[in-house]
Amino acid sequence: MSNETATLTEPRDGAVISTLTDVQREFLRRCRTGLMVENAHIYDWIPGFTEGKNGDMTAPAVTVFRWAAGVEGDFTLEISADKSFFSLHRDAGPARRRRSGEYEAAATNLMIGTRYFWRVRRGDLVSEVRTFTTADEGLRQIFLQGVPNVRDMGGKTLSDGRRSRQGLLYRSQAITGEDGKYRLTEPGENTFFNTMGIRTDLDLRADGTPAFKGGGCSVRYVRAPLDPYDIKLNDQNKASIGTIFELLSDERNYPVFIHCQAGADRTGTLALLLEGILGVPEGEIVLDYDLSTLSGECERNWYENELIEFIIDDLRSVHGDGDLTYLCRARAEALGVPASSVDAFRRIMTE
């Protein structure tokens, strides 16, 4: 396909693109500069916000691609992290005509800090290829249509300078609502099964049930009940944390989808332990906890939640002084997790 047939216009070649919305970027800035601590309510700075009425604000920004075409036709947007386009990004939407000779399509759920190649196709003809890079902002939000509060637990710079891998470990609300109703839409299922490629559904609810039923589903369901803000040395935690690390120490089980009901308290407790073990800096663990606020359903502020302090105080009372990485690794060991399982988890999750 010659340039006269299709000329790529946006984004420009070599552009750096943020996958976050303006609200999400400002949320990160405030968390990382300590401004959240000063607010009695974590929502106060969001213009026009009314708690419980603004809906989900966790979905990532949509990246729009545009091109001009000298001929009419059915175009397909192709995006790949591979120059050969061997593996295509699955969350690229259909092309639509903006006006005569101009087309656009959108994409979501791109990896962060990643160089991509893009082009458009019409039948057997393909356009020129352009590149863009997604900004490395330390947060990869996921749009899973029907289910809010979904994010990748990877893509974070660790205390040793390395980075946790993206696309392997996700945290979320439950796929079924409190009424038990299945919430994934058809596009949501495409994201879950194809873009995310989930192999294991890890449910932290004591009364949880599989969201996917029937012999044709390839997703393995594992229940490991946890109480919110509780990783104390007790029999339930030894059993559940043992199950979790048996799962996470085997790369064949990934990608893993971790959830409770709202994806905030029980999931946030496990995220603290896992991210601490990986060496995610404490400030970024705080941020990951607070981000559930953007689901619009629950306000979470680490520095105002005494239950978080109960976790940290319990860790220090048993394991002594040390940073959160040391304390979390010591707690996993005290709960009976073999060092080999912790090492395997860290190896799988670290670039």
Q: Which residue type is seen at 108?
A: T
Q: Supply the DSSP string of 249-295, one letter for each residue.
A: T-GGG-SEEEE-SSSSSHHHHHHHHHHHHHT--HHHHHHHHHGGGGG
Cβ neighbours, 10 Å, residue 132: 21
Quick one: pLDDT band at residue 145, thresholds 50, 70, 90?
very high
**DSSP H or E segment with residue 9:** strand 6-10
Residue 36 burial by Cβ neighbours in a 10 Å radius (0-12, 13-18, 19+): buried
**pLDDT on residue 50:** 61
Say which CATH topology domain 138-349 has. Protein-Tyrosine Phosphatase; Chain A (3.90.190)
**pLDDT on residue 301:** 75
How far is 92 from 73, CA to CA, in rounded Å?
A: 18
How far is 3 from 205, CA to CA, in rounded Å?
A: 55
First to last CA, the chain: 38
**pLDDT on residue 3:** 44
Domain 6-17+59-134 and domain 138-349 have a common topology? no
Percent of the chain residues past pLDDT 90, beyond the cut: 71
Q: Is the pLDDT of residue 278 over 80?
A: yes
User: Which pair of structure tokens corresponds to residue 87?
Assistant: 């593996």
Mention the CATH class of domain 6-17+59-134: mainly beta
Q: Where are the domains of the chain?
A: 6-17+59-134, 138-349
How far is 259 from 266, CA to CA, in rounded Å?
A: 8
Quick one: pLDDT band at residue 2, thresholds 50, 70, 90?
very low
**pLDDT on residue 157:** 96
CB 48, CB 165: distance < 8 Å:
no
Rounded mean pLDDT of 70-99? 92
Q: Is the pLDDT of residue 178 over 50?
A: yes
Tens digit of each residue's pLDDT (9 = 90 or more) over 37-61: 555 556 667 766 665 556 788 999 9
Rounded mean pLDDT of 229-248? 96
pTM of the model: 0.93
How far is 324 from 275, CA to CA, in rounded Å?
A: 9
